[in-house]
Structure 1
Amino acid sequence: MWDQQDKEAGSPFLSASRKRETIVIVVLLITLLSLAGYWYYSTMLATIIPRQIVSRNFVGIIRIEGYIEEPSVVNRYVDVINQAMKNESVKAVVLIIDSGGGYADYVEQIYLDLLMLKEKKPLVASVILALSGGYYIAVAADYIYVHPTSMVGNVGVKASMPSILIPSEQFIETGVYKWTGFSLLKFPFTLDRALENFVSAVESGRGDRLKISRTELKKALIYLGSEAVELGLADEIGSMQKAIEAAAERANLTSYDVVEIRPRLEQPSSLQSELSNYASGKNEIGALTIDRLNALHPPLAIHFIYLPSESLREMSQSPPPIQSNANVSAPAGEKNVVVDVSHGNQISWWVLDTLIVELAKRNVTVSFLSSWFDVESQLDNASALIVASPTFTYSANEIEQIKRFLDRGGLLLLFFDPAWEHIGPSGLQSEIIAPINSLSTSFGLSFAKGYLYNEKEYFGIYRNIYVRNFGDHPLTQNLSSLIMFTATHIRSVNNGIAWTSNETFSSMSERNGNYTVIAIVKRGNGAIIAVGDLTFLMEPYCYLEDNYRFIANLASLIAKTEIKAPEKEEAAAEKIVRPNLPVGTRKVFRDEVDGKVSNFTWIKVSDREIVVERVNQTVHYYLNEEGALERWTSDGRECVYDKPIPEPPFPLTRGKSWRHETNYTLTLEGVEYHGRLSEENLVEGFENVTAGDGNTYFCAKIKYKREEVIYAYGMEMKMIMEGYCWISSEAGTVKQEFTIKYYNNNVLAGIENERIILLSIEK
């Protein structure tokens, strides 16, 4: 009764049962509040705090891991630093750094926040890897521990150059740099200023402990932990536990717990999940590419980041447009300059436009030719041949043609630039300098590996070098200073005509010296000019120092070049008649393909059938009554030509030419594929050729180009064969030298150099 009355009246007096219920509720509330407090600390400190807390003193752990390239990543670090700063229970902080840096602004934000944290609490770093921006962050700490083989340093800056503006008349802007933001010429100095900020941070953080000069710091070397301690870049060899103890000691803690501070809210990060997941601690240095970097922060972005050099190879190449099958010239004149782009040359009018303008003023035309067949045809009337940054090697026959051109007084201009934009993937596959040196070494010139740099005097960045030492030559007339941009040096049979100062270093030899960057070698009545840079010819770089004066001197030298016409041979001997090879004739040839040698046999089975037997293949060629090729078969394959391919139009005389085009059907394993073939031939002259059997044959030298295109497997496959064939009246074909280039969807897939010579003939 009393219980009921008390309830109804709202009495303050409770029964024993009610009191027990109230006590339970209070205990539950206290428990919930305790759990809430525990949730707060466990969320903030990311560790299970023991139920029996002896001390509320904590040494907090903050992990800096992976690349710092996205807002979500830097926001997490800012969050944990802010927690450590504001939570009074955190008495000291240990940074565990395993990072190659990242976007400059993000790195600086973390660095500046850590400086604020350091003002309030001891800050100690434990380094696994601290490169570039990772080390920038490390120097905010009071004390840095490293492992003996930790990687430390790489103090430097990376950025993509401003793009070239192609304006729109529909979308307009104010200010010449509104789109690009920076001048091409001034941007390197912006990087230099960013580097100065980085170096100043290192000097400020390390103070008098630093035993390395600013010049040495700017080299961006990577040091092992033990060496970093010796140089004052770090303080001591020690583990993470050692760093924790040191942080506690600096905070005068004798009793403390260690907790890892985590962000309160995890934010998704595509880059972190791919490269360096914050939670798992993955750190895949090298997985980040230049393309990925530019996608995250478009060019002009500045990065304090370490990327292996291999990342450049993954970069989407955007070289200047290559001019092919075109004649880009000044108004018609008597002299012509041929620019070879038949060897995958990374060159175009975009690079040579200032030289083209100066040549036009002197009534000299310029032709960009993508076929060696066309290049060679034009050399008879050319004053100069320009070969710049080829990515395919030159054959022995092509070099011989160039030698004859030089002997008649021609100029050969060789340009090589070691920068990625002038090399490209094909150049890397060819060991970069092999293609240009396949030609230059025939004349006592060799372009060196690597690039030149000068850390004391440079334009903007260390590899934009000054050249102020010149020899006496028309090319160097009135020159006092050039600036070259990522140039290489040239080894020459003479001393060259332009050299760097003795404070210039080679990136490969790491030795200083007076390096030759422009060299000239005489050959017959002509000369070879070798230059170790291309960028200095382009706008706006051509207007610095005396760069443009050099271009004008070069144009004048070309315009004054006099070349002799090819000498004519005796007309009486200039005729090859149709070879009379009876049925049963057997010829054995030696075949060399890229250094691999084998033999094959040519057999005239009948007037309508020829058989060619190779080691792993036999081909039957079937002719019509006029001797034209109608079809061929080989191991279940058959090719039928819509228009039979005719034999050469005998008699062969100098200057005779012929062309042929036809479609064809190729059957492979019962499936038909359709293609087309075109070829052009020209009798250039006559030569005596010594065959492998020791006999000498008087031959017509025929220059030819053959192109085949076939559509199969969803691709356009193309083969271009260019070279020479020597045919005699007595033995027919005696020798062939040619190059074959293979393309898939107009992308070069391979290249072969082949040489065939007659070994014996039995009639």
Structure 2
Amino acid sequence: MARTNLLKGIGVFAIVVIVVVGATAATGTLLSGASPSGDTEAPAYDSGLLPTAVDDSGTVEPPQSDETKTVVIDQSHGNAVGESDMEPLVDALIESGHDVRFYSGGTDSGFGGGTGGLSSGGSGLNATLRSADAFVVANPASAYTSGEINGIESFADAGGRVLLLADPVPPSASTQSIPVNIPIGTGSGTATTPGQPTNLAANFGISFGAGYLFDMENNANNYQRIYADPSGDDALTAGADRLVFDDATALTTDADATPIVQSDAQSSATRRDGTYPVAVRTDSVVAIGNTEFLAPDSATVADNDAFVSNIASFLVTGDKQPGVPEPADAATGPGTGTGGFGDQPDTTPTLPGNGTSP
């Protein structure tokens, strides 16, 4: 009897060992991803959320023009975009022999001289524009004075090319006639909260929106990285069938301005679907509700390279009358000449690319 009980106990113990060993082996198989047949390759889980590739192999081409032109980029209003943020555009202009100057108020620093050299000088904004061919404004943190606005309008009327760029205004920024924001830090590395050239753009019948555009379904792998398409057949969108803008804002215009790029998206300001202009043009003035597309990592995405190349050509293919805006005098008054920084028509250094040495 005792022997029978012992044999039963041994049998139960053997069964338990077999079950435990079998379970451990099965668990090891599951954890290792191996199938019972010994195949160690398990199929990848398809979540359906893999990013869609967006071509980024474009090249920004230098513009073609018959003579050297001078492009002035404003940095005198706490502008939150610097040279490195628009490097593809600047490089394309310099490569084709044009002069690029960064105006900072008392000092103009630039690249060019027809050969890509560095040049500098001090003058007021309107005095600087007299010998320039194009003027670029991006994300200013302070408003333009009435004298500056009058001078820039005269500059555009005389055939000078004007490019206005701005991103959405952060919710915390002041929103009066123009957001006036305080620079963060000091020196050449100063960063500022982006603003918009509201009062300057309004003079050309253009207004920048406050909110950003987004698309939750059809986007370039981020809901704020929207697609946009040409509207019409403007030369600025030649070869640019599909554009990508990251953190763009919509524009509104009067009857004199024509949308040239639009996006089917939603606005964070209204939460409404619509077709929103992202770039507009009126004569020699172009406004774009984004600056990111000029950056090195964005300028070659989709057809952005063609758009940036066309913008470079736009800046240097105008026929601007020299000497405009005119100096202030008894007839015109200070509104057309001072520009808020003082007018120095007799001492302003001639900018490179206008037939004389700097």
TM interval, short-chain normalised: 0.5 to 0.7
Structure-2 change in CA distance of 1:702 and 1:542 (3 Å): closer
Matches of 2:195 and 2:325, distance apart in 1: 35
Query: Structure 1 stretches (4+) deviating beyond 4 angstroms?
Result: 423-435, 699-705
Bigger fraction of residues in strand: 1
The answer for the alignment partner of 2:131 in structure 1 is 381
Which of 1 and 2 has greater Rg?
1
Q: Which AA in structure 2 matches 1:548?
A: D
Query: Are the counterparts in 1 of residues 214 and 224 from structure 2 also a CA contact under 8 Å?
Result: yes
Matches of 1:482 and 1:702, distance apart in 2: 38
The answer to whether 1:365 aligns with 2:99 is yes
Q: Secondary structure of 2:275's match?
A: coil
Q: CA deviation at 1:361?
A: 3.0
> Where does 1:396-475 land on structure 2 (aligned, <5 Å)?
396-418=146-168, 429=180, 435-475=196-236
Residue from 271, 276, 292 that aligns with 1:510: 271
Residue from 306, 329, 337 that aligns with 1:686: 329
Q: Which AA in structure 2 matches 1:500?
A: S
> Where does 1:151-550 land on structure 2 (aligned, <5 Å)?
334-371=68-105, 373-418=123-168, 429=180, 435-493=196-254, 494-501=257-264, 504-522=265-283, 527-550=284-307
* TM-score (normalizing by structure 2): 0.63
Structure-2 change in CA distance of 1:410 and 1:701 (3 Å): closer
Structure-2 change in CA distance of 1:399 and 1:458 (3 Å): same
> Where does 1:692-707 land on structure 2 (aligned, <5 Å)?
none
Q: Secondary structure of 1:686's match?
A: coil
Q: CA deviation at 1:565?
A: 1.8
Query: Are the counterparts in 2 of residues 335 and 365 from structure 1 also a CA contact under 8 Å?
Result: yes
Q: CA deviation at 1:416?
A: 0.3
Deviations 1:92-125 (A, max 9, x none): xxxxxxxxxxxxxxxxxxxxxxxxxxxxxxxxxx
Query: Are the counterparts in 2 of residues 362 and 556 from structure 1 also a CA contact under 8 Å?
Result: no
The answer for the alignment partner of 1:278 in structure 2 is none
Matches of 1:350 and 1:567, distance apart in 2: 29
Q: Secondary structure of 1:466's match?
A: strand
Q: CA deviation at 1:411?
A: 0.8
Deviations 1:15-49 (A, max 9, x none): xxxxxxxxxxxxxxxxxxxxxxxxxxxxxxxxxxx
Percent of aligned pairs sharing the same letter: 27
**Long gaps (5+) in structure 2:** 1-48, 52-66, 107-122, 183-192, 345-358
Deviations 1:286-308 (A, max 9, x none): xxxxxxxxxxxxxxxxxxxxxxx
Q: Secondary structure of 2:239's match?
A: coil
Query: Are the counterparts in 2 of residues 687 and 701 from structure 1 also a CA contact under 8 Å?
Result: no
Q: CA deviation at 1:686?
A: 2.2
Q: Which AA in structure 2 matches 1:463?
A: Q
Q: Which AA in structure 1 matches 2:198?
A: N
Deviations 1:413-446 (A, max 9, x none): 00001276xx899986559887511110011000
Structure-2 change in CA distance of 1:446 and 1:704 (3 Å): closer
Query: Are the counterparts in 2 of residues 408 and 566 from structure 1 also a CA contact under 8 Å?
Result: no
> Where does 1:59-74 land on structure 2 (aligned, <5 Å)?
none
Residue from 523, 547, 560 that aligns with 2:317: 560
Deviations 1:301-336 (A, max 9, x none): xxxxxxxxxxxxxxxxxxxxxxxxxxxxxxxx7311
The answer for the alignment partner of 1:722 in structure 2 is 341
Q: Which AA in structure 1 matches 2:98?
A: V
Q: CA deviation at 1:495?
A: 4.0
Q: Secondary structure of 2:286's match?
A: strand
Q: Which AA in structure 2 matches 1:496?
A: P
Matches of 1:451 and 1:334, distance apart in 2: 37
Matches of 1:342 and 1:468, distance apart in 2: 33
Matches of 2:221 and 2:248, distance apart in 1: 15
**Long gaps (5+) in structure 1:** 1-191, 195-332, 570-683, 690-698, 706-720, 726-763
Q: Which AA in structure 2 matches 1:557?
A: F
Q: Secondary structure of 1:412's match?
A: strand
Query: Are the counterparts in 2 of residues 520 and 529 from structure 1 also a CA contact under 8 Å?
Result: yes
Q: CA deviation at 1:393?
A: 0.5
Q: Which AA in structure 2 matches 1:530?
A: A
Q: Secondary structure of 1:443's match?
A: coil
Query: Are the counterparts in 2 of residues 391 and 430 from structure 1 also a CA contact under 8 Å?
Result: yes
Structure-2 change in CA distance of 1:433 and 1:490 (3 Å): farther
Q: CA deviation at 1:377?
A: 2.1
> Where does 1:572-587 land on structure 2 (aligned, <5 Å)?
none
Matches of 2:168 and 2:325, distance apart in 1: 42
Deviations 1:76-96 (A, max 9, x none): xxxxxxxxxxxxxxxxxxxxx
The answer for the alignment partner of 1:46 in structure 2 is none
* TM-score (normalizing by structure 1): 0.30
